[in-house]
Structure 1
């Protein structure tokens, strides 16, 4: 293979960000199932050959958008947590700050939210490459819960859920080990908190609560406070903790 030709061809390829920006516009119009290199080429003014040289298949393009969406939403939470922690906020206030940040991102980027948390795109299976980015959201939540545990901010549960451990070793390792009594099921409770948060956002972003509650933002804070109780944190709507 002629290395000089390969290098020249590589240098003439359009930047991936240009293609991804056009793909995000198509995502808003067509959804993940309607996304294709051909549609992106038309929207970007590039040729199909140029798009396909960077993202050969639809799934390559979807994976890039999935990673970006997870990274962007995770980064929003990380920034909110850093600001709250830097201001000396308690774990409960940090939890409220990061969940509000994720809600704000979700409403500002509904197409990307739908891509990662909505109905699966037919025929697409997210590869292992997406896992580190997808782990940022639960990682932020786990960090806050762990800090609360280490700082003595958690209220012990009324009772631990009986039964054998329900966790895969990787989840235990990510949290730093199984906490001792009275918090032996804290990691399981944290996963419930995480899944409940995503479910709540799905309800709000897809307008499942608009005809049930008067103030969806206030209801979101209330729901986070209720969920926080399951891990031993008390959160009040104004962001203070008790």
Structure 2
């Protein structure tokens, strides 16, 4: 059923509030977000904004969901456009993450920066948050499976497909990634334990590299952020057991 004029008007105002809040994220950072300031930006009195978002936390939740979904959609679209080759999908996905992040630095800070004091994200943010992560994991799973198939059953362990753990790694891997194993199984994804470890390393390295670039920690060390990022993408793929493919 088509939305009513009243519903369309409400959605327009809500979208305007979210857009103003996102601009505030970039200008001031998530911890400084204020409903009163956002209300001024959209030309409303505070009481009017409270009808759409009863509290700052409600506004933060709406921003989280919108940002996670926007990033996830960009990443999923890039993966689809890259075609079936996992190595090419991996590069497309990682570049899409970086492109979205450097275009939306305030939103990146909300999603992956320091927690906002006093705010705890509710359950409804979990599903949007998993979109990008699951895309990364599926690409790695397909890449490792393809490398294993190509290598054949007699290939040396650690040279193709599933990598092997370093001989000197301290402690048992299993307990440290138990939550990750359970989470992936809930989505029907099975990965060898060591591949899961490498995937977690790749995931955190990709986002960590972007974080360093956005927050100025690479200044004086990296002169070309895009070229450096591609180097990182290629190396973490190799560490996970497959080759990144650049066009």
TM-score tier after normalising by the smaller chain length: 0.7 to 0.9
Aligned pairs for 1:30-49 within 5 A = 30-49=28-47
Corresponding position of 2:214 = 205
**Conserved in 2, the CA contact under 8 Å of 1:167 and 1:188?**
no
- Corresponding position: 1:18 with 2:13: no
Cα distance in 2 for partners of 1:206, 1:198 equals 12
Corresponding position of 1:5 = none
The SS at the match of 2:217 is coil
Corresponding position of 1:155 = 161
Which one of the candidate residues 129, 146, 161 is aligned to 2:141? 146
Q: How many residues were matched structurally?
A: 226
Cα distance in 2 for partners of 1:28, 1:159 equals 41
Q: State the 1:12 CA deviation.
A: 7.1
Corresponding position of 1:103 = 98
Cα distance in 2 for partners of 1:12, 1:220 equals 42
Q: State the 1:177 CA deviation.
A: 5.0
Corresponding position of 2:178 = 167
Deviations, residues 19-47 of structure 1 (Å, cap 9, x unaligned): 11121122222221221211111110012
- Corresponding position: 1:194 with 2:203: yes
Cα distance in 2 for partners of 1:11, 1:81 equals 32
Report the TM-score when normalising by structure 1: 0.84
Corresponding position of 1:217 = 226
**Conserved in 1, the CA contact under 8 Å of 2:91 and 2:233?**
yes
**Conserved in 2, the CA contact under 8 Å of 1:91 and 1:147?**
yes
Q: State the 1:70 CA deviation.
A: 1.1
Q: State the 1:205 CA deviation.
A: 1.1
The SS at the match of 2:47 is helix
Q: 1:139 to 1:53 in 2, by over 3 A?
A: same
Q: State the 1:203 CA deviation.
A: 0.6
Q: State the 1:200 CA deviation.
A: 0.9
**Conserved in 1, the CA contact under 8 Å of 2:162 and 2:195?**
no
The SS at the match of 1:54 is coil
Q: 1:218 to 1:174 in 2, by over 3 A?
A: farther
Corresponding position of 2:70 = 72
Long gaps (5+) in structure 1: 1-8
Long gaps (5+) in structure 2: 1-5, 149-159
Report the TM-score when normalising by structure 2: 0.82
**Conserved in 1, the CA contact under 8 Å of 2:138 and 2:189?**
no
- Corresponding position: 1:135 with 2:130: yes
Cα distance in 2 for partners of 1:10, 1:95 equals 40
